[in-house]
Amino acid sequence: MNMEVIWTFLSTQGADFALKIVGAIAAWIIGRWLISIAVSIAGRALQRGQKIDATLAQYLKSIISVLLTLVLVLAILDIFGIKTTSFAALLAGAGLAIGAAWSGMLGNFAAGLFLQTLRPYKVGDFISVGGVTGTVKELGLFATTILTPDNVLTVVGNNKVFSDNIQNYSAEPYRRVDCVAKVANSVNVQDAIARLRPAIAAIANVKDSPAPDIEIVEFTPEGPKLCVRPYTHNDHYWQVYFDTHKAIVATFGAAGYPVPETPVAHRVMP
């Protein structure tokens, strides 16, 4: 690179260019601050609307934030003398790479619109989408934010959500809790089931109707395997899940049932 050209640029336009950079940085900081205020005001206004739920409010806030940020970017480009028409020409000349990137973003945006229309879930629902299971924190413009049970915030693109299966565990008022209990071959299975029924029914927050299911589900070399399936409200799922396992251990222990052991294979001597 010709150092003389660089020196000439710095000596003639360097100060002006530096001021533009400082102005652009200041404009970005102030602009983002103003955008956050505007989005916050819009959010409070939407919350006051009785016909707008939290999911739609978050979606509208995302749209407002993106649009205002785009306006801010165009304003900063104008500081450097790049007009809107020049910016459009720059995007057009970027080629297939930018087009592919925008295609993915537009796919997420379109999926977000369908999710808002069909409403398979809302903020606060416990769902499983795109291989992620957790509580919906936000249905955004391009992605859905989910908080997993191990407290990890995960962002899933709306296009992936909409193109895959959606399981909404909060759609119905109660859920079935699936647990398994194995008994030894020497144990009377009907006696084990009879002991479990009152113990499981006595667990806090277990529903009386439908009654818990306790049946033989599988036979193994160690002994029969029982399915233990109480029903409970969504809010009490994990409490009932863990308490059911505790009840199984306590019931079998009080009955003196032996622990199922894996049969030892006998070696055939040559």
pLDDT digits (tens, 9 = 90+) for 31-42: 889 888 888 888
pLDDT digits (tens, 9 = 90+) for 7-19: 555 555 566 767 7
Residue 96's pLDDT is 47
Residue 175's pLDDT is 92
Concatenating the DSSP letter of every residue in the chain gives --HHHHHHHHHHHHHHHHHHHHHHHHHHHHHHHHHHHHHHHHHHHHHH-TT--HHHHHHHHHHHHHHHHHHHHHHHHHHTT--HHHHHHHHHHT-HHHHHHHHHHHHHHHHHHHHHHH-S--TT-EEEETTEEEEEEEE-SSEEEEE-TTS-EEEEEHHHHHHS-EEETTSSSEEE--EEEE--TTS-HHHHHHHHHHHHHTSTTB-SSSPPEEEEEEEETTEEEEEEE-EEEGGGHHHHHHHHHHHHHHHHHHHTPPPP-PPPPPPPP-
Residue 98's pLDDT is 47
Q: Which two tokens stand for residue 150?
A: 């191990």
| CA dihedral angle for residue 4, residue 6, residue 11, residue 17, rounded to 10 degrees | 170
- The angle that helices 84-93 and 54-79 make with each other, rounded to 10 degrees, is 100
d(CA 249, CA 53): 44
For the chain, residues with pLDDT lower than 70 are 1-15, 17, 46-47, 49-56, 59, 80-105, 262-270
Contact 179, 228 (CB under 8 A): yes
Give this prediction's pTM. 0.59
Contact 108, 157 (CB under 8 A): yes
d(CA 175, CA 245): 17
Residue 100's pLDDT is 54
Q: Domains (ranges, CATH) in the chain?
A: 174-255 (3.30.70.100)
Which contacts of 18-24 are long-range, i.e. CB under 8 A and separated by 24 or more positions?
20/79, 20/80, 23/79, 24/76, 24/79, 24/80
